């Protein structure tokens, strides 16, 4: 710790800056990348705008809250570098950020976000509103957009949380790489395997045995596993379920009570019964 860390200005106002601004003031956080068009890969538009965020993340509302599931594969080019990656991250007691994109940037964003919410609660003595939280992630994505334009550091997350305000209930949002947020009523998917998943969730929600929101937890897990397995069938960047290695997707549920991480044996049991 540098000795000058406690700075107490006489002009102290009591309103605190947001956490990323605090980090920047202390020089602990990389400044927002500037959008420099000349720094773009010169030969092709495709290289600077890689749309592939190699992974599959899905989330949908069911009777017990919001289920968020992600496969475990991390790739570099066409090499699998890690098969136990955790892409469904807990931000606070009721919020989950699930990530598709460049892990270094995404995990850093999750850390900043986690500290932002806590910093706000501790300094301002009140919980940040859901709108505030959703906006905080949007701001981080916007700050990162310069890097995206340079072809590095693209992150496309999903954000799931529980709103305790006037109209309590689970909330689900997805984002684009520029930071636009979209609230969804039923389901969201992101990553390279998401087109297949979106198709399945749309089908299930419209013509399945039950609407997604009516599903029990076991039924919801079944749909999530089937969807991820389908995505992995054609998308090499998605891990799906590793039958030989016994590696299952990570599934978390956000509800009024908080976040539950489903134990692997439960997921394995559902998988054996209804998927395999």
Partner 1 sequence: MIEEPYRWVEAIANRREYIETQLASGSPIAAVGYRDGILFLTLGRARQKIFEIYDRIAMGAIGHPGDIERLRMAAIELASTEGFTRSAGDVSLRRLAHYSLSPVMKNAFEQVYGAPFLTRMLFAEVGAKPEEDLFLRVEYDGAIATNGATFAQARQDFAVLSGTGKSTELMESFLKIEHAPGALFEAALKVALDAWSIGHMTLQKNDAKELPERAALTKHREEQLAVAGIEAAILERDAETAIRYRALSDEEVRASIQQ
| Contact call for residue 1 and partner 1 (CB under 8 A) | yes
Compute the CA torsion angle 155, 158, 159, 160 (nearest 10 deg): -160
Residues 117-146 that bind partner 1 (CB under 8 A): 118-119, 121-123, 125
CA-to-CA distance for 244 and 233, rounded, in angstroms? 15
Does the annotation count 236 as an active-site position? Answer: no
Catalytic residue chosen out of the listed positions 55, 56, 105, 190:
55
Among positions 93, 214, 246, 256, the unique one binding partner 1 when judged by CB under 8 A: 93
| Contact call for residue 19 and partner 1 (CB under 8 A) | yes
Please say which residue, 19 or 60, places its beta carbon nearer to partner 1.
Answer: 19
Among positions 59, 112, 251, 267, the unique one binding partner 1 when judged by CB under 8 A: 112
Query: Strand 169-175 to strand 158-163: parallel, antiparallel, or no bridges (unpaired)?
Result: antiparallel
Please say which residue, 3 or 42, places its beta carbon nearer to partner 1.
Answer: 3
| Contact call for residue 31 and partner 1 (CB under 8 A) | no
Give the neighbor-by-neighbor strand order of the sheet with 258-261.
187-190, 57-62, 65-70, 250-255, 258-261
CA-to-CA distance for 150 and 110, rounded, in angstroms? 21
Q: Is 166 exposed, middle or buried (0-12, 13-18, 19+ CB in 10 A)?
A: exposed
Quick count: other Cβ atoms within 10 Å of Cβ 252?
A: 21
CA-to-CA distance for 180 and 194, rounded, in angstroms? 18
- The piece of 8-16, 143-151, 166-174, 246-254 that touches partner 1 (CB under 8 A) is 8-16
| In the complex, least distance from residue 110 CB atom to partner 1, rounded to whole angstroms | 12
* Residues noted as catalytic: 55
Positions that interact with partner 1 (CB under 8 A): 1, 3, 5-8, 12, 14, 16, 19, 22-23, 26, 28, 93, 111-112, 115, 118-119, 121-123, 125
């Amino acid at each position: 710790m540098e000795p000058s860390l406690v700075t107490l200005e006489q002009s102290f106002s009591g309103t605190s800056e947001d956490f990323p601004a605090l980090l920047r003031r202390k020089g602990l956080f990389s400044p927002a990348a500037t959008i420099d068009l000349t720094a773009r890969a010169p030969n092709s538009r495709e290289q600077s705008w890689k749309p592939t965020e190699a992974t599959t993340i899905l989330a949908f509302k069911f009777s017990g809250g919001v289920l968020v599931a992600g496969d475990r594969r991390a790739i570099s080019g066409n090499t699998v570098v890690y098969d136990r990656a955790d892409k469904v991250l807990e931000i606070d007691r009721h919020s989950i950020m699930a990530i598709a994109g460049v892990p270094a940037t995404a995990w850093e964003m999750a850390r900043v976000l986690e500290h932002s919410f806590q910093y706000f609660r501790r300094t301002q003595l009140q919980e940040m509103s859901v709108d505030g939280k959703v906006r905080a992630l949007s701001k981080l994505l916007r700050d990162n957009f310069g890097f995206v334009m340079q072809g590095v550091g693209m992150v496309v997350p999903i954000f799931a949380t529980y709103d305790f305000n006037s109209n309590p209930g689970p909330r689900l949002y997805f984002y684009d790489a520029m930071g636009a947020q979209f609230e969804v009523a039923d389901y969201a998917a992101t990553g390279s395997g998401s087109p297949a998943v979106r198709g399945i969730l749309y089908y299930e929600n419209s013509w399945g045995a039950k609407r997604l929101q009516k599903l029990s937890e076991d039924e919801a897990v079944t749909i999530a596993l089937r969807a991820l397995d389908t995505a992995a069938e054609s998308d090499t960047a998605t891990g799906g379920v590793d039958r030989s290695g016994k590696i299952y997707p990570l599934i978390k549920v956000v509800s009024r009570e908080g976040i539950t991480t489903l134990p692997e044996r439960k997921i394995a049991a559902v998988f054996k019964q209804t998927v395999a």
